[in-house]
Chain A
Amino acid sequence: DVVMTQSPLSLPVTLGQPASISCRSSQSLVHSDGNTFLNWFQQRPGQSPRRLIYKVSNRDSGVPDRFSGSGSGTDFTLKISRVEAEDVGVYYCMQGTHWPRTFGQGTRLEIK
Chain B
Amino acid sequence: EVQLVESGGGLVQPGGSLRLSCAASGFTFSSHWMTWIRQAPGKGLEWVANIKQDGSEKYYVDSVKGRFTISRDNAKNSLYLQMNSLTAEDTAFYYCARGTTAPGYWGQGTLVTVSS
Contacts and interface: CB of A to CB of B under 8 A. Distances in A.
A50 interface: yes
Contact of B102 (A39, A50, A100): A39
Interface stretch (A16-24, A76-84, A89-97): A89-97
Interface residues of A, number: 27
Nearest to A55: B102
A99 B107 CA distance: 22
A40 B113 CA distance: 28
A108 to B, nearest CB: 11
A51 B108 contact: no
Nearest to B59: A99
Interface in B7-28: none
A49 B59 contact: no
A37 B59 contact: no
Nearest to B95: A48
B101 A96 contact: yes
Contact of B106 (A1, A49, A54, A99): A49
A82 B37 CA distance: 30
Nearest to B108: A48
A69 B80 CA distance: 33
Contacts of A48: 95, 106-109
A31 B102 CA distance: 13
Interface in B53-100: 59-62, 95, 100
Given A48-B95, A48-B108, A48-B109, A103 B44 contact: yes
Contacts of A35: 101
Interface string A25-67: 0000001000101010101000011110011000010000000
B102 A92 contact: no
14 contacts: A1-B62, A35-B101, A39-B103, A48-B106, A48-B107, A48-B109, A51-B102, A90-B44, A94-B45, A96-B100, A100-B59, A101-B50, A103-B45, A104-B44
Sort A-B residue pairs by CB-CB distance and give the 3 closest, nearest first.
A96-B101, A54-B102, A101-B47
Interface of A: 1, 31, 35, 37, 39, 41, 43, 48-51, 54-55, 60, 90, 92, 94, 96-97, 99-106
